[in-house]
Amino acid sequence: MQIFPRSLNKLPAVVAVGAALLGGGVVGGFWYYGTPKHLQVGYAPRQPVPYSHRLHAGIMGMDCRYCHANVERSGEAMIPPTQTCMNCHSLVRTDSARLAPVRESWRTGQSIPWVRIHRLPDHAYFDHSVHISAGVGCVTCHGRVDQMDIVRQDQPLSMSWCLDCHRNPGPNLRPRDQVTNMEWRPDPAQQVQPQRRVEPPQNCSGCHR
């Protein structure tokens, strides 16, 4: 007498196929949603001082290089020292409660503990000055910070995202005197000519040294 129906013979195969599909779905989900595009884009941490780029870079029209002074000659864009803030705020809004951490930093000599937003892995090499020299605009990587009260990460800064530009840099190039101009748009009738030959590396050693 047969206790189990013959149809149960297919059960191991069904379980195996189901497990494979489920496993593939889980791996695919993590593979897709675990990328910088989904985990890092939009990251906007709270800062110790509520500094508004929309006010300073947008409404007031301050050039990015006033605060990020080393960006044209250094690999790092540089977080501005308290001295840069106090160049204006020793005279402007001197009693503002929002600026109390700035005044305290100036009094004690202790740096303001700004929270870094754009952070590449330690194994990735990136040089701001090289990209600025080539004519890559700030907005390409950082978005319209002149419209952000709270700065957020605008692009994934992933390897594939960087390689897309390295393989075809033309659309992201502009005249060097327009690098910090957030509102610059290319003239469709005129192609931007790089001010030097631009051949971004596509080999591993270009970014992993």
Per-residue pLDDT, 136: 95
pLDDT at 87 over 90: yes
- pLDDT: is 64 or 24 the higher one? 64
Per the domain annotation, does 25 fall within a domain?
A: yes
Per the domain annotation, does 92 fall within a domain?
A: no
pLDDT at 190 over 70: no
Count of domains forming the chain: 1
pLDDT at 194 over 60: no
Domain carrying residue 28: 18-44+66-79+118-209
Per the domain annotation, does 59 fall within a domain?
A: no
Residues forming a β-bridge with 173: 136
Give mean pLDDT, residues 96-122.
Answer: 95
Per the domain annotation, does 101 fall within a domain?
A: no
